[in-house]
Amino acid sequence: MIRRLYEWILALSGKPSAPYVLGAVAFAESSFFPVPPDAMLVPMAVSRPDRVWFYALIATVGSVLGGLVGYAIGALLFDSLGTWLIRLYGLQDKAATFQQSYAEYGHWVILLKGLTPIPYKLVTITSGFAHYSLFWFTLLSIVTRGARFFILAGLLGRYGVQIRGVLDRHLNAVVAISVAVIVLGFVLFKVIL
């Protein structure tokens, strides 16, 4: 199943709809979807290294726009949808602590957590819940998400051929490690709070 999905993403990268799908995944991941856009960006970039920077831009724009939806969920819908998402990830006891950290470290929280495997949707929703400055939230989201995707694009552009070889030979191991990193991100998020 993983191999078929990988091959589907590789085939998708040659189609005109590829940027739209990547943008939709990046958008959704920043507000409610559990799968990071890297899962699409990596195979698409190794398949089409000539478009790696364009794909990074699409992932950044989609992620920031989705982050604004996550912010709105936190600011406007926290009592219903926001609380449900926080509960879904088992973080209801930690949300207040995280909100308080914005008073002192808001800029650093967004910058650092936007680069890590900690799910960005948790940062976006909590930023809205904490009523963090929308201007600073947007600006810092552009910086941190752009850095994440453009650094990844640079690595993929430079080492894409080798990375594709590893993916082709060891896809299951790469997926297992990626899932472990995502789970570690959730654990770190809970511990850091």
Per-residue pLDDT of 71-93, as tens digits, reads 998 888 877 776 776 677 666 66
pLDDT band at 70 (very low <50, low <70, confident <90, very high): very high
Say if residue 150's pLDDT is above 90: yes
33, 25 contact by CB (below 8 A): yes
Given this model, what pLDDT does residue 191 score? 60
Q: Where are the domains of the chain?
A: 2-192
The Cα–Cα gap between 93 and 181 comes to 23
pLDDT at 68 over 90: yes
Task: With cut-offs at 50, 70 and 90, classify the pLDDT of residue 137.
Answer: very high
pLDDT reported for residue 121: 84
User: Which tops the pLDDT comparison, 111 or 71?
Assistant: 71
Q: What percent of the chain has pLDDT over 70?
A: 75
Answer yes or no: is pLDDT of 98 > 70.
no
Q: What share of the chain has pLDDT > 90, as a percent? A: 24
